[in-house]
């Protein structure tokens, strides 16, 4: 299947304005077929999106980025969900090992803003670009929530990032709705959730939430950033295309 060349993003988003997550996913599957993938960090709450999408397309390609710095509990949780839901998971890792990156560049996450960008590109951006190309993905389903970050609050159900259509089925769901779905379907929670983690990424960029935190995302990247960069436009042209109504 080739990607449709006449998708009108404004029209699609109007069509899906009142659609449920299941209806949005079904639209994506009907539109893109096998040229679709789902990304998962296997973090807190990841089970909800994995269950939603795999219930509609069991063989959907699930892309997970192994930065080399994930918590042991994340690997264990990923294996648990893969077996429980029968997931088709594709792990992608940086071309350079963590030891290689640190030997050449040092501990980039402990340095400045530019070094953060370099770290994200090496450990997440490059593997994700490779995943999109290798899997020939024309559409990318992601479990972003509008209340998670300032950038995510600007998103619609269907957007354009580079040459890839991004679909956000649970963008409007509240934490309560996600919790109720997880309980209804008897889905497990990330083991670090019970240790105070509201969001989980790399070991050096995640910590338990405290009473002083105004937002759960303050526990990521030492409070310096809300986004890892994986879901952000990479340049002004991409940002402009995100607001374009045509593809």
Residue 9's alpha-carbon distances to 5, 16, 23, 91, in angstroms, are 11, 10, 16, 30
Q: Over pLDDT 70: what percentage of the chain?
A: 81
Average pLDDT over every residue of 211-215 = 67
CB 16 within 8 A of CB 8: no
What is the average pLDDT across 84-99? 96
Which pLDDT does position 207 carry in this prediction? 83
Q: What is the mean pLDDT of residues 211-231?
A: 59
- Can you give the pLDDT at residue 22? 97
Active site residue 224: no
The one catalytic residue among 78, 228, 231, 233: 228
Query: Domains (ranges, CATH) in the chain?
Result: 9-242 (3.40.50.620)
| Residue 247, pLDDT score | 27
pLDDT of residue 114: 83
pLDDT in tens, 16-35: 999 999 999 999 999 999 99
Q: Residue 102: is its pLDDT beyond 90? A: yes
- pLDDT tens column, 112-161: 778 888 988 999 999 999 999 999 999 999 988 776 667 768 889 999 88
Bridge partners, 206 (sequence order): 220
The pLDDT, as a whole number, for residue 237 is 40
Across the chain, mean pLDDT equals: 85
């Amino acid at each position: 299947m080739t990607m449709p060349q006449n998708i009108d993003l404004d029209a699609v988003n109007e069509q899906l304005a009142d659609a449920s997550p299941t209806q949005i996913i079904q639209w994506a599957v009907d539109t893109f077929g096998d040229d679709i993938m789902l990304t998962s960090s296997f973090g807190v709450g990841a089970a909800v999106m994995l269950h939603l999408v795999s219930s509609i397309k069991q063989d959907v390609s699930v892309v997970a980025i192994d930065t080399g710095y994930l918590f042991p509990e994340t690997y264990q949780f990923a294996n648990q969900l893969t077996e429980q839901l029968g997931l088709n998971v594709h792990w992608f890792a940086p071309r350079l090992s963590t030891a290689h990156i640190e030997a050449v560049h040092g501990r980039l996450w402990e340095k400045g803003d530019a070094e953060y960008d370099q770290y994200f590109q090496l450990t997440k951006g490059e593997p994700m670009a490779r995943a999109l190309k290798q899997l020939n993905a024309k559409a990318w389903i992601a479990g972003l929530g509008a209340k998670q970050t300032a950038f995510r609050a600007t998103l619609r159900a269907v957007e354009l990032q580079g040459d890839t259509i991004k679909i956000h089925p649970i963008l409007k769901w509240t934490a309560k709705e996600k919790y109720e779905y997880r309980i209804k379907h008897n889905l497990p929670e990330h083991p670090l959730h019970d240790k105070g983690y509201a969001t989980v990424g790399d070991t050096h960029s995640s910590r338990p939430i405290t009473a002083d935190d105004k937002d759960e995302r303050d526990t990521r990247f030492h409070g310096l950033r809300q986004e890892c960069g994986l879901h952000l436009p990479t340049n002004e042209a991409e940002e402009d295309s995100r607001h374009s109504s045509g593809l």
